[in-house]
A and B are shown apart, each in its own frame.
Chain A
């Protein structure tokens, strides 16, 4: 019988064990109680970015089984297709065995094995020379890194501004769009109120960072009968179970959202009270064309933004809780004409250009459908309000007897981000949420701590004064508030190799990893010496324009030296990028090392409370590999970086585990928040606790704290929450977070474009800055669509990772590759018929950047102007332990080959990175193509083809047969 309350997500009465779990007396000799494991380790998954808790069952020294940890706040016992396949990742034949030093031409795969001491000597000699002379000549970029608080800190200590992870080609415009607007963002940093929402809109998401939480949440919505609306050109995954699937044309989501806003404004269906309390809707904006402060907020002497008090008929501090601010009108204050932000919003979005009829054709959505969705949003938000019987107090001390909510929630990700207009489209969605009064309210979109933070949060990016042997005066990645914060020199030339925080990409909060190889190759803005990368497949599926990227990695100067002089790469597997490294540092798997999933980085919090987690070694490596984080710490000590070295020159931390416990970023705040203080009783801030890791292990690998009932909503203005956030160090001071519908920092860039201010863009950049740094979101045609002949390239082309491989290294996984080993190009039946194509035809997919060949599959569930394929299934021969006849390298293809990494030349002949002009986010989905049936003799195999990589020393051929698990049964039966 079940005596305890059931734990975990799948605990419905119809999902529980039998009432009597004693085995029946069947008499068939079946062993119904085999021994499962000798030990169970609770740690954190790393098959993708979701960071679920897992129970790893070890039997006979091997990993027998991995299941979800029922107590874990992220996955609550469930596990995804990747998580269960972790065994095959761990025992992969593609795993590297030893440090490698290149012995043949770059890209050949010819290496010799070296000892770690030699590897460290080579790296230390190279890097210490760089640090002594010009630290920015080290470019250190990491990929799917979950240790950015360490890697960024290391870069800062080294003194190079050239650091980022893969956010620039992932979804930085979603992060920035949210952080500059509401002080939080989608990604895994917020979540719908799954328990209370009644209407859920999902934009451009098939699978996501928040992989299992979204699936758990969708299951709840469906069980409760809440409505799910998906906006996505492809009807896969989550979109397949939506009540309403809106097969939008790619790149037009912002336009669709503006049409919804248009309808809501016209009908007066916006939450004015919410806008006044929690946003800058009432803040006065100076309207004085030509003035140096035109478009900035009117401020008092203490720099506080002002509003117009419609009762007192005077200007007042916009934050004054007693004020009665106007939202509309035009006012003259001290001789300055100004209008409230809300007036500007109404002026813009009530314009005819954003009416449903005006956008319907471009979006591929009937105007009636847009009107219906707007009506449904209004109905649920305003007629189906909910009220939780919990009293709370806001920042101004006003007590509220209940928590009121408007149960409309939204989530958005890749389909918005991967377009050049993604930042503005993301801001549009946040604007819609805020107008409806649905952010951090019951039933709405909720922040996960440490968010919300001020919009934008501090600090600013460091890197203005790079000096030999000197750490940066801050961290390399941050948030700019105006041109003064840019990392450019007097001539406007970028200071960073990726041109982040330059006029090309002013709000590049995650850097632009996708530009590094081209820029380093071209010496633009300057040549570098060493490119160090971790865990990102930049010579294959993580780069745009892969063919040319490979050429850049292997290109020589006139003297015969590689244009990118030295490449250090750390990976656990023989990926397509390893052969391009000069020095390879073999990493462990996630089951063999320590990690921390930190509140300083990307924690495991949910909306009801903060949390963080660790990984710890479950099994010992059976080969000469080391965790990259520990290698980095040792390298830091050998280089003598200040924070990795004691005064006597000895290493400060033996390894990553010691760093996790002992490192303090500011006094009392370290990588882990749980069990701080000598006796382990402090939370958030506290002295170092030497037993901290053991406390985490004892608790199942994570720390999590639930909020009190009155702290869970309205976190941007909830006194009890804000006090807690200050005490935890999430925010510097317990002050309200004001949603920035009008983004004043962007206007400062516009003013620079108009000639105001000390830091000026080059003349050639003025028009671009003026256009795209609009302080209110707007819609523009994605760059490639605007540049190409649409008659010649009539189709949009998209890629997405299958759910069972999202953010994973799945294509080499013996189990996962059986589910998908050849990607098809999915084409709508009608579109195919118009082109004379039938199912299974082989076609050339052609863009202005080149062509790639693949096989089509006809479907109905796709926008008819769009074709799409599964990403990163195509693999290069000789990589990942795959055999030469593997479908991945013979029939699978990579769309990356035809996605340009640069835009077409503008009027000045300049080609920008193929990215969002605000944040530098890679515009993967701007791609336009045509498809052409290939000749009969060309069918059956993909092109382009690449030379097969040599195999590293002592790599054994992958097995012809896998009998994984037979050993457990044999051992069981031997015991019997």
Chain B
């Protein structure tokens, strides 16, 4: 079994805005593209042109319908590793391959120690782990650990690939352990939530809920339109307006 650090200096993670996500898959393929040549390369695709295609993806977007009395809505839901504070995927790992970094809180896998037992993927209730059958090791979101500190990238590009790509600006990145950080402030102002908090793994990533059917929804306090009054009706109104 693998131990968790008693404390992490930072809690780096993502904030994902479900109010704005249109389900375009931009983050999904940007992630695939960066990471298939990145730290855990490759993100193998089995039978890529056939009937049993099955690839490794660190980030997937699902669409759900949610129907309530107030009406239905479609929610596009990007899903990736939440970099939990107390992740069972780490504690369950028999070899220490799965670990949580004490410095920034990123949950990573040391491939050289992974025996492919898949206990971690059974332990993760979020389905965030992806087994590469070709290599025989587990893979997962690295929070682009090879981008966010990368001296070979321009400083402005040192953010996760999914955050850089997102066309609707629905993805955010930062230190969620620092209440003064921009991401923490965003979560506070928008009522960001944990996924399945009852599981007790304390996800670092947060989701901002859709505004539809909430007090945040844009409303236009428009009075009902009434026909123009007085003589001549609308055409009379036009004439009066023009002669003013």
Q: Interface of A with B (CB < 8 Å)?
A: 2, 4, 6-10, 12-18, 21-26, 28-36, 59, 64-68, 70, 75, 77-85, 87, 93, 199, 207, 211-212, 215-216, 218-220, 222-223, 225-228, 235-241, 243, 245, 263-269, 272, 310, 324, 326-329, 342-343, 346, 350, 371-372, 374-376, 378-380, 802-804, 812, 814-819, 821, 859-861, 881-883, 885-887, 890, 958-966, 968-969
Contact = CB atoms under 8 A, between A and B. Distances in A.
A212 B164 CA distance: 13
Contacts of B29: 81-82, 84-85, 804, 815-816
B33 A85 contact: yes
Contacts of A87: 33
B22 A859 contact: no
A376 B9 contact: no
Contact of A376 (B30, B161, B220): B220
A241 B20 contact: yes
Given A15-B171, A28-B110, A882 B49 contact: yes
B122 interface: no
A960 B50 contact: yes
Given A269-B225, A379-B222, A962 B44 contact: yes
B51 A218 contact: no
16 contacts: A15-B159, A24-B104, A65-B33, A67-B30, A212-B167, A225-B216, A240-B63, A243-B212, A267-B228, A343-B235, A346-B234, A814-B55, A818-B54, A883-B47, A963-B134, A969-B37
A269 B186 CA distance: 39
B42 A969 contact: yes
Given A14-B186, A84-B33, A962-B44, A241 B22 contact: yes
B26 interface: yes
B238 A272 contact: yes
| Interface SS majority for chain B | loop
Interface of B: 9-10, 12, 15, 17, 19-26, 28-30, 32-39, 41-55, 57, 63, 65, 67, 72-76, 99, 101-104, 108, 110, 134, 145-146, 148-153, 155-159, 161, 163-175, 181-183, 185-186, 210-212, 216-228, 234-235, 237-239, 241-243
B150 A219 contact: no
Most buried by A among B149, B174, B223: B149
A243 B217 CA distance: 7
Contacts of A35: 152
A949 to B, nearest CB: 15
A212 B173 CA distance: 21
A324 B243 CA distance: 9
Nearest to A224: B218
Contacts of B169: 9-10, 12, 15, 78, 216, 219-220, 223
Nearest to B51: A885
Contact of B42 (A17, A815, A890, A963): A963
B238 A14 contact: no
B65 A881 contact: no
A22 B72 contact: no
Contacts, number: 360
A228 B161 CA distance: 28
Given A78-B26, A240-B23, A267-B228, A7 B218 contact: no
Contacts of A961: 44-48, 134
Given A84-B165, A818-B55, A65 B34 contact: yes
Contact of A969 (B41, B49, B242): B41
Given A15-B163, A85-B32, 6 more contacts: A6-B156, A31-B146, A227-B220, A343-B235, A372-B222, A963-B44
B49 A21 contact: no
Contact of A263 (B23, B49, B225, B238): B225
Contacts of A223: 20, 169
Given A237-B23, A964-B36, A34 B152 contact: yes
B26 A240 contact: no
Contacts of B46: 960-961
B49 A215 contact: no
B37 A65 contact: yes
